[in-house]
Structure 1
Protein backbone atom coordinates (compact mmCIF):
# COMPACT_ATOMS: atom_id res chain seq x y z
CA UNK A 1 0.00 0.00 0.00
CA UNK A 2 1.27 3.47 -0.89
CA UNK A 3 2.17 5.41 2.26
CA UNK A 4 0.01 8.41 1.31
CA UNK A 5 -3.08 6.24 0.80
CA UNK A 6 -3.60 7.07 4.48
CA UNK A 7 -4.04 10.72 3.48
CA UNK A 8 -7.31 9.95 1.66
CA UNK A 9 -8.81 7.87 4.46
CA UNK A 10 -7.23 4.41 4.39
CA UNK A 11 -5.52 4.48 7.78
CA UNK A 12 -2.95 2.19 9.34
CA UNK A 13 -5.72 0.00 10.79
CA UNK A 14 -6.94 -0.89 7.27
CA UNK A 15 -5.82 -4.42 6.42
CA UNK A 16 -4.00 -5.44 3.27
CA UNK A 17 -6.91 -7.68 2.28
CA UNK A 18 -9.29 -4.71 2.39
CA UNK A 19 -6.97 -2.63 0.21
CA UNK A 20 -6.78 -5.51 -2.30
CA UNK A 21 -10.58 -5.70 -2.29
CA UNK A 22 -10.83 -1.96 -2.93
CA UNK A 23 -8.27 -2.23 -5.76
CA UNK A 24 -10.33 -4.99 -7.35
CA UNK A 25 -13.40 -2.74 -7.14
CA UNK A 26 -11.39 0.02 -8.82
CA UNK A 27 -10.70 -2.35 -11.72
CA UNK A 28 -14.22 -3.71 -12.06
CA UNK A 29 -16.36 -0.73 -10.97
CA UNK A 30 -14.15 2.09 -12.23
CA UNK A 31 -15.30 5.68 -12.64
CA UNK A 32 -12.90 6.28 -15.53
CA UNK A 33 -10.68 4.01 -17.63
CA UNK A 34 -7.96 4.66 -20.19
CA UNK A 35 -5.66 2.35 -22.10
CA UNK A 36 -2.88 2.53 -24.67
CA UNK A 37 -1.42 -0.17 -26.87
CA UNK A 38 1.95 -1.59 -25.89
CA UNK A 39 2.09 -4.38 -28.49
CA UNK A 40 -0.25 -6.64 -30.46
CA UNK A 41 -1.42 -8.54 -27.40
CA UNK A 42 -0.93 -6.13 -24.47
CA UNK A 43 -2.45 -2.82 -23.38
CA UNK A 44 -1.30 -0.56 -20.58
CA UNK A 45 -4.34 0.41 -18.50
CA UNK A 46 -5.37 3.05 -16.01
CA UNK A 47 -8.45 2.49 -13.82
CA UNK A 48 -9.79 5.17 -11.49
CA UNK A 49 -12.57 5.14 -8.94
CA UNK A 50 -13.93 8.13 -7.06
CA UNK A 51 -14.03 7.36 -3.34
CA UNK A 52 -15.03 10.81 -2.14
CA UNK A 53 -15.29 14.39 -3.29
CA UNK A 54 -12.00 15.05 -5.19
CA UNK A 55 -10.58 11.78 -3.80
CA UNK A 56 -9.67 8.90 -6.12
CA UNK A 57 -7.77 5.64 -6.11
CA UNK A 58 -5.88 4.94 -9.37
CA UNK A 59 -4.71 1.51 -10.51
CA UNK A 60 -2.12 0.89 -13.25
CA UNK A 61 -1.03 -2.29 -14.98
CA UNK A 62 -1.05 -4.43 -18.13
CA UNK A 63 -3.95 -6.33 -19.63
CA UNK A 64 -3.84 -8.99 -22.35
CA UNK A 65 -6.43 -9.93 -25.00
CA UNK A 66 -8.19 -12.27 -22.54
CA UNK A 67 -8.58 -9.35 -20.10
CA UNK A 68 -6.11 -10.84 -17.64
CA UNK A 69 -4.88 -7.86 -15.64
CA UNK A 70 -1.45 -7.66 -14.00
CA UNK A 71 -1.21 -4.82 -11.50
CA UNK A 72 1.90 -2.64 -11.59
CA UNK A 73 1.02 -0.18 -8.82
CA UNK A 74 -1.82 1.82 -7.27
CA UNK A 75 -1.78 5.35 -5.90
CA UNK A 76 -4.10 7.77 -4.07
CA UNK A 77 -5.10 10.87 -6.05
CA UNK A 78 -6.36 14.17 -4.66
CA UNK A 79 -7.66 16.59 -7.28
CA UNK A 80 -6.72 20.25 -6.79
CA UNK A 81 -8.70 23.27 -7.94
CA UNK A 82 -7.81 26.33 -9.99
CA UNK A 83 -4.42 27.11 -11.55
CA UNK A 84 -1.33 27.04 -9.32
CA UNK A 85 1.33 28.05 -11.85
CA UNK A 86 1.79 28.87 -15.54
CA UNK A 87 5.52 28.03 -15.42
CA UNK A 88 6.92 25.82 -18.17
CA UNK A 89 6.91 22.12 -17.29
CA UNK A 90 9.39 19.36 -18.10
CA UNK A 91 8.17 15.79 -17.66
CA UNK A 92 10.44 12.82 -16.93
CA UNK A 93 9.48 9.14 -16.77
CA UNK A 94 10.42 7.19 -13.65
CA UNK A 95 12.91 4.37 -14.16
CA UNK A 96 11.15 1.63 -12.19
CA UNK A 97 7.56 2.00 -13.43
CA UNK A 98 5.21 3.67 -15.86
CA UNK A 99 4.89 6.89 -13.87
CA UNK A 100 5.96 10.46 -14.55
CA UNK A 101 7.35 13.39 -12.62
CA UNK A 102 6.69 16.99 -13.62
CA UNK A 103 9.34 19.66 -13.04
CA UNK A 104 8.67 23.39 -13.18
CA UNK A 105 10.63 26.48 -12.22
CA UNK A 106 8.47 28.81 -10.16
CA UNK A 107 10.22 31.95 -8.90
CA UNK A 108 7.97 32.07 -5.83
CA UNK A 109 9.66 29.06 -4.19
CA UNK A 110 13.29 29.50 -5.36
CA UNK A 111 13.56 25.78 -6.19
CA UNK A 112 12.66 23.42 -9.01
CA UNK A 113 9.22 22.08 -8.07
CA UNK A 114 8.84 18.36 -8.72
CA UNK A 115 5.47 16.65 -8.54
CA UNK A 116 3.86 13.31 -9.33
CA UNK A 117 1.94 13.67 -12.59
CA UNK A 118 -1.75 12.89 -12.04
CA UNK A 119 -2.68 12.60 -15.74
CA UNK A 120 0.09 10.46 -17.30
CA UNK A 121 -2.15 8.87 -19.95
CA UNK A 122 -3.25 12.27 -21.22
CA UNK A 123 0.36 13.47 -21.27
CA UNK A 124 1.55 10.45 -23.29
CA UNK A 125 -1.35 10.92 -25.70
CA UNK A 126 -0.41 14.58 -26.25
CA UNK A 127 3.25 13.62 -26.62
CA UNK A 128 2.55 10.93 -29.22
CA UNK A 129 0.26 13.27 -31.19
CA UNK A 130 3.13 15.72 -31.65
CA UNK A 131 1.03 18.64 -30.39
CA UNK A 132 2.68 18.96 -26.99
CA UNK A 133 4.95 21.87 -27.92
CA UNK A 134 2.14 23.73 -29.67
CA UNK A 135 -0.15 23.99 -26.65
CA UNK A 136 -0.01 26.38 -23.72
CA UNK A 137 -0.02 24.56 -20.43
CA UNK A 138 -0.67 25.34 -16.78
CA UNK A 139 -0.36 23.22 -13.66
CA UNK A 140 -2.82 22.55 -10.85
CA UNK A 141 -0.94 21.35 -7.79
CA UNK A 142 -2.36 19.46 -4.85
CA UNK A 143 -0.84 17.87 -1.76
CA UNK A 144 -1.43 14.85 0.46
CA UNK A 145 -0.37 14.76 4.11
CA UNK A 146 -0.62 11.95 6.65
CA UNK A 147 -0.38 14.32 9.62
CA UNK A 148 0.14 18.00 10.30
CA UNK A 149 0.17 20.78 12.89
CA UNK A 150 -1.79 24.02 13.16
CA UNK A 151 0.14 27.11 14.26
CA UNK A 152 -1.07 30.56 15.22
CA UNK A 153 -0.42 33.34 12.67
CA UNK A 154 2.41 35.86 12.94
CA UNK A 155 0.95 39.21 13.98
CA UNK A 156 1.39 41.82 11.22
CA UNK A 157 -0.23 45.17 10.56
CA UNK A 158 -1.19 46.41 7.09
CA UNK A 159 2.12 48.24 6.68
CA UNK A 160 4.09 45.06 7.45
CA UNK A 161 1.97 43.06 5.00
CA UNK A 162 2.47 45.62 2.23
CA UNK A 163 6.24 45.73 2.78
CA UNK A 164 6.41 41.92 2.81
CA UNK A 165 4.48 41.68 -0.49
CA UNK A 166 6.73 44.28 -2.15
CA UNK A 167 9.89 42.57 -0.89
CA UNK A 168 8.60 39.19 -2.09
CA UNK A 169 7.82 40.50 -5.58
CA UNK A 170 11.23 42.19 -5.82
CA UNK A 171 12.86 38.90 -4.91
CA UNK A 172 10.83 37.07 -7.56
CA UNK A 173 12.08 39.51 -10.19
CA UNK A 174 15.67 39.03 -9.04
CA UNK A 175 15.32 35.22 -9.08
CA UNK A 176 13.89 35.32 -12.61
CA UNK A 177 16.76 37.54 -13.77
CA UNK A 178 19.34 35.34 -12.03
CA UNK A 179 18.01 32.23 -13.79
CA UNK A 180 18.59 34.01 -17.09
CA UNK A 181 22.24 34.58 -16.16
CA UNK A 182 22.09 38.18 -14.89
CA UNK A 183 25.29 38.46 -12.82
CA UNK A 184 24.11 41.60 -11.02
CA UNK A 185 20.90 39.86 -9.91
CA UNK A 186 22.92 36.84 -8.70
CA UNK A 187 25.19 39.10 -6.65
CA UNK A 188 22.24 41.03 -5.19
CA UNK A 189 20.50 37.79 -4.18
CA UNK A 190 23.68 36.47 -2.56
CA UNK A 191 24.08 39.64 -0.50
CA UNK A 192 20.39 39.61 0.51
CA UNK A 193 20.63 35.95 1.59
CA UNK A 194 23.71 36.68 3.68
CA UNK A 195 21.94 39.64 5.32
CA UNK A 196 18.85 37.51 6.02
CA UNK A 197 20.99 34.74 7.53
CA UNK A 198 22.66 37.22 9.90
CA UNK A 199 19.32 38.71 11.00
CA UNK A 200 17.73 35.31 11.60
CA UNK A 201 20.81 34.04 13.49
CA UNK A 202 20.51 36.95 15.91
CA UNK A 203 16.75 36.66 16.41
CA UNK A 204 16.62 32.88 16.81
CA UNK A 205 18.62 33.17 20.06
CA UNK A 206 15.66 34.78 21.83
CA UNK A 207 12.70 33.97 19.53
CA UNK A 208 10.98 30.83 18.26
CA UNK A 209 11.88 30.08 14.64
CA UNK A 210 8.20 29.93 13.62
CA UNK A 211 7.63 33.49 14.86
CA UNK A 212 10.35 34.61 12.42
CA UNK A 213 9.48 32.46 9.41
CA UNK A 214 5.95 33.12 8.17
CA UNK A 215 5.70 30.41 5.47
CA UNK A 216 8.10 28.06 3.69
CA UNK A 217 8.26 25.43 0.95
CA UNK A 218 11.32 23.19 0.96
CA UNK A 219 12.39 19.66 -0.11
CA UNK A 220 11.99 16.88 2.44
CA UNK A 221 13.64 13.47 2.48
CA UNK A 222 15.22 11.71 -0.49
CA UNK A 223 12.16 11.44 -2.77
CA UNK A 224 12.03 14.27 -5.31
CA UNK A 225 8.30 15.03 -4.87
CA UNK A 226 8.23 15.20 -1.05
CA UNK A 227 8.26 18.60 0.64
CA UNK A 228 8.02 20.19 4.05
CA UNK A 229 5.68 23.17 3.94
CA UNK A 230 4.07 25.77 6.13
CA UNK A 231 1.35 28.01 4.77
CA UNK A 232 -1.53 30.22 5.76
CA UNK A 233 -4.99 28.59 5.73
CA UNK A 234 -7.19 30.49 3.26
CA UNK A 235 -10.15 28.10 3.21
CA UNK A 236 -11.19 24.72 4.58
CA UNK A 237 -13.73 22.00 3.85
CA UNK A 238 -14.63 18.53 5.08
CA UNK A 239 -15.14 15.51 2.79
CA UNK A 240 -15.84 11.83 3.50
CA UNK A 241 -14.07 8.72 2.25
CA UNK A 242 -17.07 6.72 1.01
CA UNK A 243 -15.34 3.38 1.66
CA UNK A 244 -14.02 3.84 5.19
CA UNK A 245 -16.28 6.80 6.19
CA UNK A 246 -13.22 8.59 7.52
CA UNK A 247 -13.40 12.39 7.60
CA UNK A 248 -10.85 14.16 5.40
CA UNK A 249 -10.01 17.83 5.87
CA UNK A 250 -9.28 19.83 2.70
CA UNK A 251 -7.24 22.97 3.35
CA UNK A 252 -6.49 25.71 0.83
CA UNK A 253 -3.02 27.02 1.70
CA UNK A 254 -0.88 29.98 0.72
CA UNK A 255 2.81 29.04 0.99
CA UNK A 256 5.23 31.61 -0.44
CA UNK A 257 2.25 33.14 -2.31
CA UNK A 258 1.67 29.83 -4.08
CA UNK A 259 -1.91 28.69 -3.51
CA UNK A 260 -2.84 24.99 -3.57
CA UNK A 261 -5.15 22.48 -1.84
CA UNK A 262 -4.08 19.84 0.66
CA UNK A 263 -5.97 16.84 2.06
CA UNK A 264 -5.34 15.20 5.42
CA UNK A 265 -7.30 12.91 7.78
CA UNK A 266 -9.14 15.10 10.29
CA UNK A 267 -7.95 12.95 13.20
CA UNK A 268 -4.30 13.48 12.20
CA UNK A 269 -4.38 17.26 12.60
CA UNK A 270 -2.72 18.51 15.78
CA UNK A 271 -4.55 21.69 16.77
CA UNK A 272 -7.72 23.37 15.55
CA UNK A 273 -7.53 24.58 11.93
CA UNK A 274 -9.09 27.95 11.12
CA UNK A 275 -8.83 30.51 8.34
CA UNK A 276 -5.88 32.81 9.04
CA UNK A 277 -3.92 30.27 11.06
CA UNK A 278 -0.91 28.44 9.64
CA UNK A 279 -0.52 24.77 8.84
CA UNK A 280 2.74 22.81 8.84
CA UNK A 281 3.21 19.32 7.35
CA UNK A 282 5.33 17.01 5.25
CA UNK A 283 3.55 16.48 1.95
CA UNK A 284 3.53 14.43 -1.22
CA UNK A 285 3.09 16.88 -4.07
CA UNK A 286 0.90 15.96 -7.03
CA UNK A 287 0.05 17.97 -10.10
CA UNK A 288 -2.13 17.91 -13.17
CA UNK A 289 -0.95 19.49 -16.42
CA UNK A 290 -3.80 21.39 -18.04
CA UNK A 291 -3.52 21.28 -21.85
CA UNK A 292 -5.32 24.21 -23.46
Structure 2
Protein backbone atom coordinates (compact mmCIF):
# COMPACT_ATOMS: atom_id res chain seq x y z
CA UNK A 1 0.00 0.00 0.00
CA UNK A 2 1.01 3.64 -0.39
CA UNK A 3 2.45 4.63 2.99
CA UNK A 4 0.90 8.11 2.86
CA UNK A 5 -2.66 6.73 2.78
CA UNK A 6 -2.45 6.95 6.56
CA UNK A 7 -2.06 10.73 6.34
CA UNK A 8 -5.60 11.06 4.94
CA UNK A 9 -7.20 8.73 7.49
CA UNK A 10 -6.62 5.12 6.39
CA UNK A 11 -5.00 2.35 8.41
CA UNK A 12 -1.36 1.52 7.72
CA UNK A 13 -1.93 -2.25 7.77
CA UNK A 14 -4.20 -2.50 4.71
CA UNK A 15 -3.68 -5.68 2.68
CA UNK A 16 -3.30 -5.84 -1.09
CA UNK A 17 -6.88 -7.09 -1.41
CA UNK A 18 -8.11 -4.08 0.62
CA UNK A 19 -6.22 -1.72 -1.69
CA UNK A 20 -7.72 -3.40 -4.77
CA UNK A 21 -11.23 -3.01 -3.32
CA UNK A 22 -10.51 0.64 -2.57
CA UNK A 23 -9.21 1.44 -6.07
CA UNK A 24 -12.08 -0.54 -7.68
CA UNK A 25 -14.54 1.56 -5.68
CA UNK A 26 -12.89 4.75 -6.91
CA UNK A 27 -12.89 3.54 -10.53
CA UNK A 28 -16.58 2.55 -10.35
CA UNK A 29 -17.73 5.86 -8.83
CA UNK A 30 -15.15 8.66 -9.21
CA UNK A 31 -15.97 12.26 -8.37
CA UNK A 32 -13.97 13.51 -11.35
CA UNK A 33 -12.41 12.01 -14.50
CA UNK A 34 -9.78 13.65 -16.70
CA UNK A 35 -8.47 12.11 -19.91
CA UNK A 36 -5.36 13.01 -21.88
CA UNK A 37 -2.57 11.43 -23.93
CA UNK A 38 0.64 10.32 -22.23
CA UNK A 39 4.23 10.86 -23.39
CA UNK A 40 4.08 7.72 -25.59
CA UNK A 41 0.79 8.63 -27.24
CA UNK A 42 -1.34 6.28 -25.14
CA UNK A 43 -4.56 7.20 -23.40
CA UNK A 44 -4.03 8.51 -19.87
CA UNK A 45 -6.99 8.55 -17.47
CA UNK A 46 -7.00 10.25 -14.07
CA UNK A 47 -9.82 9.41 -11.63
CA UNK A 48 -10.29 11.36 -8.41
CA UNK A 49 -12.29 10.46 -5.31
CA UNK A 50 -12.60 12.95 -2.45
CA UNK A 51 -12.65 11.29 0.98
CA UNK A 52 -12.64 14.55 2.97
CA UNK A 53 -12.94 18.22 1.94
CA UNK A 54 -9.68 18.99 0.13
CA UNK A 55 -8.19 15.48 0.38
CA UNK A 56 -8.66 12.18 -1.44
CA UNK A 57 -7.19 9.49 -3.68
CA UNK A 58 -6.27 9.71 -7.35
CA UNK A 59 -6.13 6.58 -9.55
CA UNK A 60 -4.27 6.74 -12.88
CA UNK A 61 -4.29 4.26 -15.75
CA UNK A 62 -5.98 3.52 -19.07
CA UNK A 63 -9.00 1.79 -20.56
CA UNK A 64 -8.47 -1.47 -22.46
CA UNK A 65 -10.24 -2.18 -25.75
CA UNK A 66 -12.91 -4.20 -23.93
CA UNK A 67 -13.73 -1.19 -21.74
CA UNK A 68 -12.11 -2.42 -18.54
CA UNK A 69 -9.90 0.00 -16.64
CA UNK A 70 -6.29 -0.95 -15.93
CA UNK A 71 -4.83 0.84 -12.91
CA UNK A 72 -1.18 1.86 -13.34
CA UNK A 73 -0.79 3.60 -9.98
CA UNK A 74 -2.65 5.54 -7.31
CA UNK A 75 -1.71 8.06 -4.65
CA UNK A 76 -3.31 10.06 -1.82
CA UNK A 77 -3.43 13.82 -2.23
CA UNK A 78 -4.35 17.02 -0.42
CA UNK A 79 -5.29 20.18 -2.30
CA UNK A 80 -3.65 23.51 -1.54
CA UNK A 81 -5.06 27.02 -1.83
CA UNK A 82 -3.77 30.11 -3.59
CA UNK A 83 -0.39 30.57 -5.26
CA UNK A 84 2.63 29.20 -3.39
CA UNK A 85 5.42 29.96 -5.86
CA UNK A 86 5.80 31.87 -9.13
CA UNK A 87 9.36 30.80 -9.84
CA UNK A 88 10.14 29.13 -13.17
CA UNK A 89 8.99 25.50 -12.99
CA UNK A 90 10.38 22.56 -14.94
CA UNK A 91 8.40 19.31 -15.24
CA UNK A 92 10.31 16.00 -15.28
CA UNK A 93 8.87 12.52 -15.88
CA UNK A 94 9.60 9.70 -13.43
CA UNK A 95 11.35 6.79 -15.12
CA UNK A 96 9.17 3.92 -13.90
CA UNK A 97 5.65 5.22 -14.66
CA UNK A 98 3.60 8.03 -16.15
CA UNK A 99 4.00 10.33 -13.16
CA UNK A 100 5.86 13.62 -12.97
CA UNK A 101 7.80 15.90 -10.65
CA UNK A 102 7.89 19.68 -10.61
CA UNK A 103 11.26 21.36 -10.05
CA UNK A 104 11.97 25.00 -9.28
CA UNK A 105 14.64 27.13 -7.61
CA UNK A 106 12.67 28.85 -4.86
CA UNK A 107 14.50 31.94 -3.57
CA UNK A 108 12.65 31.91 -0.25
CA UNK A 109 14.06 28.47 0.56
CA UNK A 110 17.53 28.74 -0.89
CA UNK A 111 17.25 25.16 -2.21
CA UNK A 112 15.85 23.47 -5.30
CA UNK A 113 12.22 22.61 -4.56
CA UNK A 114 10.96 19.28 -5.94
CA UNK A 115 7.32 18.23 -5.67
CA UNK A 116 5.09 15.38 -6.88
CA UNK A 117 2.82 16.67 -9.66
CA UNK A 118 -0.90 16.30 -8.90
CA UNK A 119 -2.59 17.48 -12.12
CA UNK A 120 -0.81 15.21 -14.61
CA UNK A 121 -3.71 15.00 -17.09
CA UNK A 122 -4.00 18.79 -17.28
CA UNK A 123 -0.23 19.13 -17.72
CA UNK A 124 -0.19 16.54 -20.53
CA UNK A 125 -3.09 18.26 -22.32
CA UNK A 126 -1.39 21.67 -22.10
CA UNK A 127 1.95 20.21 -23.16
CA UNK A 128 0.46 18.52 -26.25
CA UNK A 129 -1.38 21.73 -27.14
CA UNK A 130 1.76 23.86 -26.84
CA UNK A 131 5.05 22.08 -25.92
CA UNK A 132 6.79 25.42 -25.29
CA UNK A 133 4.23 26.62 -22.74
CA UNK A 134 5.50 26.69 -19.17
CA UNK A 135 3.45 26.76 -15.96
CA UNK A 136 2.87 30.28 -14.60
CA UNK A 137 2.84 29.21 -10.94
CA UNK A 138 2.33 26.30 -8.56
CA UNK A 139 0.03 25.59 -5.63
CA UNK A 140 1.85 23.37 -3.14
CA UNK A 141 0.53 21.05 -0.44
CA UNK A 142 1.91 18.14 1.55
CA UNK A 143 1.12 14.96 3.48
CA UNK A 144 2.78 14.01 6.75
CA UNK A 145 3.01 10.78 8.75
CA UNK A 146 4.63 12.22 11.85
CA UNK A 147 4.52 15.69 13.36
CA UNK A 148 4.43 17.64 16.59
CA UNK A 149 3.22 21.03 17.72
CA UNK A 150 5.90 23.41 19.01
CA UNK A 151 5.30 26.63 20.92
CA UNK A 152 6.20 29.86 19.06
CA UNK A 153 9.20 32.11 19.69
CA UNK A 154 8.13 35.18 21.66
CA UNK A 155 8.59 38.34 19.53
CA UNK A 156 7.52 41.96 19.81
CA UNK A 157 6.20 43.98 16.86
CA UNK A 158 9.61 45.51 16.09
CA UNK A 159 11.26 42.07 15.94
CA UNK A 160 8.52 40.79 13.61
CA UNK A 161 9.00 43.75 11.24
CA UNK A 162 12.80 43.32 11.30
CA UNK A 163 12.44 39.62 10.44
CA UNK A 164 10.23 40.47 7.44
CA UNK A 165 12.63 43.17 6.24
CA UNK A 166 15.67 40.88 6.59
CA UNK A 167 13.85 38.17 4.64
CA UNK A 168 12.98 40.60 1.82
CA UNK A 169 16.55 41.92 1.70
CA UNK A 170 17.91 38.38 1.49
CA UNK A 171 15.53 37.53 -1.38
CA UNK A 172 16.74 40.60 -3.29
CA UNK A 173 20.35 39.54 -2.74
CA UNK A 174 19.65 35.98 -3.91
CA UNK A 175 17.93 37.32 -7.05
CA UNK A 176 20.92 39.57 -7.76
CA UNK A 177 23.38 36.74 -7.09
CA UNK A 178 21.55 34.59 -9.65
CA UNK A 179 22.29 37.29 -12.23
CA UNK A 180 25.98 37.16 -11.37
CA UNK A 181 26.20 40.20 -9.07
CA UNK A 182 29.49 39.67 -7.22
CA UNK A 183 28.63 42.16 -4.46
CA UNK A 184 25.41 40.25 -3.74
CA UNK A 185 27.30 36.95 -3.63
CA UNK A 186 29.84 38.43 -1.20
CA UNK A 187 27.09 39.92 1.01
CA UNK A 188 25.28 36.57 1.15
CA UNK A 189 28.50 34.80 2.09
CA UNK A 190 29.21 37.28 4.90
CA UNK A 191 25.60 37.00 6.09
CA UNK A 192 25.89 33.20 6.27
CA UNK A 193 29.14 33.48 8.24
CA UNK A 194 27.47 35.89 10.71
CA UNK A 195 24.49 33.55 11.08
CA UNK A 196 26.76 30.57 11.72
CA UNK A 197 28.71 32.53 14.36
CA UNK A 198 25.48 33.60 16.08
CA UNK A 199 24.14 30.03 16.13
CA UNK A 200 27.43 28.64 17.44
CA UNK A 201 27.42 31.17 20.27
CA UNK A 202 23.76 30.73 21.32
CA UNK A 203 23.47 26.95 20.89
CA UNK A 204 25.66 26.39 23.97
CA UNK A 205 22.97 27.84 26.25
CA UNK A 206 19.71 27.68 24.27
CA UNK A 207 17.58 25.06 22.54
CA UNK A 208 17.82 25.17 18.74
CA UNK A 209 14.02 25.55 18.41
CA UNK A 210 14.15 28.76 20.47
CA UNK A 211 16.71 30.20 18.03
CA UNK A 212 15.45 28.98 14.65
CA UNK A 213 11.99 30.29 13.77
CA UNK A 214 11.40 27.98 10.79
CA UNK A 215 13.33 25.73 8.43
CA UNK A 216 12.91 23.70 5.25
CA UNK A 217 15.43 20.92 4.56
CA UNK A 218 15.60 17.91 2.19
CA UNK A 219 14.97 14.67 4.07
CA UNK A 220 16.10 11.10 3.36
CA UNK A 221 16.66 9.62 -0.09
CA UNK A 222 13.32 10.70 -1.61
CA UNK A 223 13.78 13.94 -3.54
CA UNK A 224 10.29 15.29 -2.72
CA UNK A 225 10.38 14.72 1.05
CA UNK A 226 11.41 17.46 3.48
CA UNK A 227 11.92 18.09 7.17
CA UNK A 228 10.13 21.31 8.08
CA UNK A 229 9.33 23.71 10.89
CA UNK A 230 6.69 26.34 10.15
CA UNK A 231 4.17 28.63 11.81
CA UNK A 232 0.50 27.61 11.78
CA UNK A 233 -1.53 30.43 10.18
CA UNK A 234 -4.77 28.41 9.96
CA UNK A 235 -6.04 24.88 10.59
CA UNK A 236 -9.17 22.75 10.51
CA UNK A 237 -10.22 19.21 11.38
CA UNK A 238 -12.02 16.94 8.88
CA UNK A 239 -13.29 13.35 8.89
CA UNK A 240 -12.39 10.63 6.38
CA UNK A 241 -15.80 9.72 4.91
CA UNK A 242 -14.78 6.07 4.43
CA UNK A 243 -13.11 5.30 7.77
CA UNK A 244 -14.36 8.06 10.08
CA UNK A 245 -10.79 8.87 11.16
CA UNK A 246 -10.00 12.52 11.90
CA UNK A 247 -7.41 14.34 9.83
CA UNK A 248 -5.88 17.74 10.52
CA UNK A 249 -5.26 20.23 7.71
CA UNK A 250 -2.72 22.89 8.65
CA UNK A 251 -1.86 26.02 6.67
CA UNK A 252 1.81 26.77 7.36
CA UNK A 253 4.14 29.70 6.83
CA UNK A 254 7.56 28.12 6.39
CA UNK A 255 10.39 30.43 5.31
CA UNK A 256 7.71 32.78 3.84
CA UNK A 257 6.31 29.94 1.76
CA UNK A 258 2.59 29.30 2.43
CA UNK A 259 1.21 25.79 1.87
CA UNK A 260 -1.17 23.23 3.40
CA UNK A 261 -0.19 20.05 5.24
CA UNK A 262 -2.51 17.12 5.98
CA UNK A 263 -1.79 14.70 8.83
CA UNK A 264 -3.75 11.98 10.62
CA UNK A 265 -4.83 13.22 14.06
CA UNK A 266 -3.30 10.04 15.57
CA UNK A 267 0.13 11.00 14.22
CA UNK A 268 0.08 14.59 15.47
CA UNK A 269 1.57 15.20 18.91
CA UNK A 270 0.15 18.28 20.61
CA UNK A 271 -2.77 20.64 20.12
CA UNK A 272 -2.65 22.81 16.97
CA UNK A 273 -3.40 26.53 17.32
CA UNK A 274 -2.81 29.60 15.18
CA UNK A 275 0.60 31.05 16.03
CA UNK A 276 2.08 27.76 17.22
CA UNK A 277 4.53 25.85 15.03
CA UNK A 278 4.43 22.48 13.29
CA UNK A 279 7.55 20.30 13.11
CA UNK A 280 7.59 17.17 10.99
CA UNK A 281 8.51 15.36 7.79
CA UNK A 282 6.38 15.95 4.69
CA UNK A 283 5.85 14.57 1.20
CA UNK A 284 5.54 17.65 -1.01
CA UNK A 285 2.92 17.69 -3.76
CA UNK A 286 1.85 20.44 -6.10
CA UNK A 287 -0.51 21.56 -8.84
CA UNK A 288 0.87 23.69 -11.68
CA UNK A 289 -1.26 26.58 -12.93
CA UNK A 290 -1.48 27.83 -16.51
1:241 CA drift (Å): 0.8
Q: Corresponding residue for 2:23?
A: 23
Q: Corresponding residue for 1:107?
A: 107
Structure 2: unaligned runs, 5 residues or longer: none
Mapped to 2, the partners of 1:55 and 1:15 lie a distance apart of: 22
Q: Corresponding residue for 1:156?
A: 155
Mapped to 1, the partners of 2:11 and 2:177 lie a distance apart of: 44
1:187 CA drift (Å): 1.3
Q: Corresponding residue for 1:144?
A: 143
1:240 CA drift (Å): 1.1
Q: Corresponding residue for 1:224?
A: 223
Q: Corresponding residue for 1:66?
A: 66
Q: Contact between 2:142 and 2:261, CA under 8 Å: does it hold in 1? A: yes
1:141 CA drift (Å): 0.5
Note the aligned Cα RMSD (angstroms): 1.8
Mapped to 1, the partners of 2:105 and 2:38 lie a distance apart of: 32
Q: Contact between 1:42 and 1:65, CA under 8 Å: does it hold in 2? A: no
1:38 CA drift (Å): 6.2
Mapped to 2, the partners of 1:250 and 1:38 lie a distance apart of: 32
Mapped to 2, the partners of 1:257 and 1:113 lie a distance apart of: 14
TM-score by length of 2: 0.95
Q: Corresponding residue for 2:118?
A: 118
Measured against aligned partners, the alpha-carbon deviations of 1:165-199 in whole angstroms (never above 9, x if no partner) come to 11111111111111122121111111111111111
Mapped to 2, the partners of 1:62 and 1:235 lie a distance apart of: 38
Alignment of 1:128-139 (within 5 A): 128-130=128-130, 133=133, 137-139=136-138
Mapped to 2, the partners of 1:238 and 1:127 lie a distance apart of: 37
1:18 CA drift (Å): 2.2
- Secondary structure in structure 2 of the residue aligned to 1:126: helix
1:127 CA drift (Å): 0.7
Give the direction of change, closer, same or farther, for the CA distance of 1:209–1:152 in structure 2 (3 Å limit).
same
Q: Corresponding residue for 2:45?
A: 45
Q: Contact between 2:89 and 2:135, CA under 8 Å: does it hold in 1? A: no
Measured against aligned partners, the alpha-carbon deviations of 1:190-225 in whole angstroms (never above 9, x if no partner) come to 111111111101111111010010001111111111
Q: Corresponding residue for 1:171?
A: 170
Mapped to 2, the partners of 1:147 and 1:209 lie a distance apart of: 20
- Secondary structure in structure 1 of the residue aligned to 2:145: coil
TM-score by length of 1: 0.94
Measured against aligned partners, the alpha-carbon deviations of 1:41-95 in whole angstroms (never above 9, x if no partner) come to 9633221111111112111123221123332211001111111111111111111
Higher alpha-carbon deviation: 77-86 or 9-18 = 9-18
Higher alpha-carbon deviation: 26-35 or 91-100 = 26-35
Give the direction of change, closer, same or farther, for the CA distance of 1:42–1:156 in structure 2 (3 Å limit).
closer
Q: Contact between 2:55 and 2:79, CA under 8 Å: does it hold in 1? A: yes
Mapped to 2, the partners of 1:115 and 1:59 lie a distance apart of: 18
Alignment of 1:77-92 (within 5 A): 77-92=77-92
1:272 CA drift (Å): 1.1
Higher alpha-carbon deviation: 115-124 or 136-145 = 136-145
Structure 1: unaligned runs, 5 residues or longer: none
Q: Corresponding residue for 1:127?
A: 127
Give the direction of change, closer, same or farther, for the CA distance of 1:42–1:179 in structure 2 (3 Å limit).
closer
- Secondary structure in structure 2 of the residue aligned to 1:147: strand
- Secondary structure in structure 1 of the residue aligned to 2:101: strand
Q: Contact between 1:42 and 1:64, CA under 8 Å: does it hold in 2? A: no
